[in-house]
């Protein structure tokens, strides 16, 4: 996960237990994602302990699952024997991949916990193919009832990095304003309303001139197995 990396490092070992209460919502989420990633090269940002990646990897061609927290990635790597699923520590604001490397980018429950979600979306746009798909499910706390809002406040006081309290409509409008065309959305019932958003590139928003494109080879299961020269993922 991104945002207050030390918080995620400290809580990596208990993250899966914390998420179990929303198992039904996540099973519905996996069902929505699987057909989109079928046969595709996928990047997941803020993978946490890899729950989503591990549940959809059977459908994908290859998944690069990344997180800013080294402890989260260590948990994710436990018992991972899938050669087409590779976990690594990366910064979602400064990704090492070439332009238009991925068919699908997934960023789940992360945009609301980073201070500059617009910057993250700009970097996602860079590494996503022009005909690619962004999948961005996000807890929309603004739609929650009093109990949920009180719970969110308690989490924030405990150090949980919550920067945006979108409602579902606010969140979808935020995506549209940042150059994404929402082609599918639905709200899943979880501890907090979970707004599933499936997007395509729309008109590019006006942003400051970015840095030069980077490139990096992709992996097939371990860091010693690198295919070819640094290039975009095929």
Within 10 angstroms of residue 68's Cβ, the number of other Cβ atoms is 22
Token pair of 150 as six digits: 């009180």
Which positions ≥6 away from 224 have C-beta within 8 Å? none
Measured between alpha carbons, how far is 234 from 228 in angstroms, rounded to an integer?
A: 11
Cβ contact 92:134 at 8 Å: no
Over residues 215-228, the mean pLDDT reads 42
Q: Give CA–CA dist 104/100, Å, rounded.
A: 10
Q: Which residues contact 11 (CB under 8 A, 6 or more apart)?
A: 18
pLDDT tens-place string over residues 183-221 = 999 999 877 788 999 999 998 876 555 554 454 555 544
| Contacts with 145 (C-beta within 8 Å, 6 or more apart), sequence order | none
Report if pTM > 0.75.
yes
Instruction: Encode pLDDT of 117-156 as tens digits.
Output: 999 999 999 999 999 999 999 988 655 555 555 555 555 5
Residues 6+ apart with CB under 8 A from 184: 196, 197, 198
Note the pLDDT tens digit of each residue in 15-59: 455 555 677 888 999 999 999 999 999 999 999 999 999 999 999
Distant-in-sequence, close-in-space partners of 173: CB < 8 Å, separation ≥ 6: none
pLDDT at 67: 95
Six token digits for residue 200: 């395509």
Short-list 191, 199, 151, 204, CA closest to 171: 199
Hey, what domains does the chain have and what are their CATH numbers? 5-201 (3.40.50.150)
d(CA 93, CA 72): 18
Query: Could you tell me if 233 and 62 are in contact, meaning their C-beta atoms sit under 8 angstroms apart?
Result: yes
> Is the Cβ–Cβ distance between 96 and 211 less than 8 Å?
no
Nearest to 50 by CA among 98, 16, 18: 16
């Amino acid at each position: 996960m991104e945002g207050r990396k030390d918080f995620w490092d400290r809580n990596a070992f208990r993250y899966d237990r914390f998420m179990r209460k929303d198992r039904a919502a996540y099973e519905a989420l996996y069902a929505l994602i699987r057909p989109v990633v079928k046969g595709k090269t996928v990047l997941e940002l803020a993978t946490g302990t890899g729950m989503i990646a591990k549940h959809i990897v059977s459908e994908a061609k290859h998944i690069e699952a990344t997180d800013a927290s080294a402890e989260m990635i260590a948990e994710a790597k436990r018992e991972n024997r899938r050669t087409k699923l590779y976990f690594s520590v990366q910064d979602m604001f400064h990704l090492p991949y070439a332009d238009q490397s991925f068919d699908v980018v997934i960023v789940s429950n992360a945009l609301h916990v980073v201070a500059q979600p617009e910057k993250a979306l700009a970097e996602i746009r860079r590494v996503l193919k022009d005909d690619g798909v962004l999948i961005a499910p996000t807890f929309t706390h603004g739609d929650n009832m009093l109990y949920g809002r009180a719970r969110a406040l308690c989490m924030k006081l405990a150090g949980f990095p919550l920067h945006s309290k979108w409602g579902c409509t606010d969140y979808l409008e935020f995506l549209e304003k940042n150059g994404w065309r929402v082609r599918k959305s639905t709200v899943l019932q979880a501890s907090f309303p979970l707004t599933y958003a499936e997007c395509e590139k729309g008109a590019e928003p006006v942003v400051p001139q970015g840095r030069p494109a980077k490139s990096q080879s992709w992996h097939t299961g371990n860091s010693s197995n690198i295919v070819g020269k640094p290039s975009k993922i095929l």
